[in-house]
Amino acid sequence: MAFPISFIPEQASSISVEVDRLLYFLLAVSVSLTLLIVAAITYFAIRYRRRSEREVPARIEARWPLQIAWSIIPLGITMVMFAWGARIFSEESRPPRDAIQIYVVAKQWMWKLQHVEGMREMNELHIPVGRPVKLTMTSEDVIHSFYVPAFRTKEDIVPGRYTTTWFTATKPGKYRLFCTEYCGTNHSGMNGWVYAMEPKDYELWMAGGPKGSLKEEGEKLFQDLACIKCHKEDGSGRCPSLKGLFGQTVLLTGGGTVDADEAYVRESILDPAAKVVDGYQPYMPVFKDRVTEEQVAALIEYVKSMVRKPAADPDSQKP
Ligand code: CUA
């Protein structure tokens, strides 16, 4: 459904049609209610205007059916708004499992984007149409916000943590990327472009990138930073083995558990003492000022790649 006047951006993602429908519904309700109220004010102002100094207005009794009706009907309408909005919100906050993973690091005043295949971009993001894309985002300084109007995608980027968002582009094209959280002097210049490409063009573009993947960069860092000395694969080191860790539930010292997701791995690198695995001591040094957010992303991809091999691996054969 395209609107005749172009006061809204192009619809270029799978969710944009649904978001716009909800917006039109909200607009329709607001406009109708406004007109209804203005009409009622006008009518009553004329109908019950003061006609003489001595006239005493008639007493008007409450009419229950009317009162109930004007309570129930708006309640119903607002519940529709709530349920509809909540459905879109929950869909937008749960990226599909097969989504392409891209890391976003925002800083004053630029966008740095990392593809797991190794491609890096600055203020530009290339994606294929028809495939869900998940962004894992963080900031190196202040709060920014990732906004692609054509995708109806808008998510805050907060220093010190990951936020995620996802979308599926439906139309090839070049779309505006804005920072939409005031982040200092050059906030208004913190823009970029998203290029949604046909899958085969995307493959071609990707093929022109660097040879090493993000995972390989992470693997190298894992050795350079000597992580490998303690995180031995067979678990004989001072720190837990990271093999097969990603996606698992981890038992922590002092009780409690945590899901080993991107946020947990990131926190464990930057501030290892925050959550210590049950049975281990907090030996690990703090890497907060030793690695950049981009390096953290590479390390996470490496940790993700350390899967437990089924059957062939003697470790997993243990009863
Ligand atoms: Cu970054 Cu505004």
pLDDT of residue 3: 53
pLDDT of residue 297: 85
pLDDT of residue 309: 61
Say how many Å lie between the CA of residue 180 and the centre of ligand 1. 6
Ligand 1 pocket residue status of 190, Cβ below 6 Å:
yes
Ligand 1 pocket residue status of 115, Cβ below 6 Å:
no
pLDDT of residue 316: 44
Ligand 1 pocket residue status of 157, Cβ below 6 Å:
no
For the CA of 180, the closest atom of ligand 1 is: 2
pLDDT of residue 205: 86
pLDDT of residue 255: 82
User: What angle is formed at CA 85 by the lines to CA 84 and CA 89, rounded to 5 degrees?
Assistant: 120
Tally of CB atoms within 10 A around 300: 26
The CA-atom distances, in angstroms, between 265 and each of 238, 246, 283, 291 are 17, 8, 16, 13
Q: Are 129 and 170 in contact (CB under 8 A)?
A: yes
Looking up tokens 């000597």, which residue turns up? 226
* CA dihedral angle for residue 216, residue 221, residue 222, residue 227, rounded to 10 degrees: 180
pLDDT of residue 53: 82
pLDDT of residue 307: 77
For the CA of 143, the closest atom of ligand 1 is: 1
pLDDT of residue 318: 43
Tokens at residue 235, please? Answer: 């678990």
Say how many Å lie between the CA of residue 245 and the centre of ligand 1. 35
pLDDT tens digits along 32-72: 999 999 999 999 999 888 888 887 878 888 889 999 999 99
Tokens at residue 281, please? Answer: 């001591």
The whole-angstrom separation of Cα 123 and Cα 120 is: 10
Segments in the chain below pLDDT 50: 312-314, 316-319
Which amino acid would we find at residue 8?
Answer: I
pLDDT of residue 30: 95
Which of 107, 154, 109, 149 lies closest to 135 in space, CA to CA?
Answer: 154
pLDDT tens digits along 65-121: 999 999 999 999 999 999 999 999 998 888 898 999 999 999 999 999 999 887 888
pLDDT of residue 268: 82
Say how many Å lie between the CA of residue 137 and the centre of ligand 1. 13
Say how many Å lie between the CA of residue 24 and the centre of ligand 1. 29
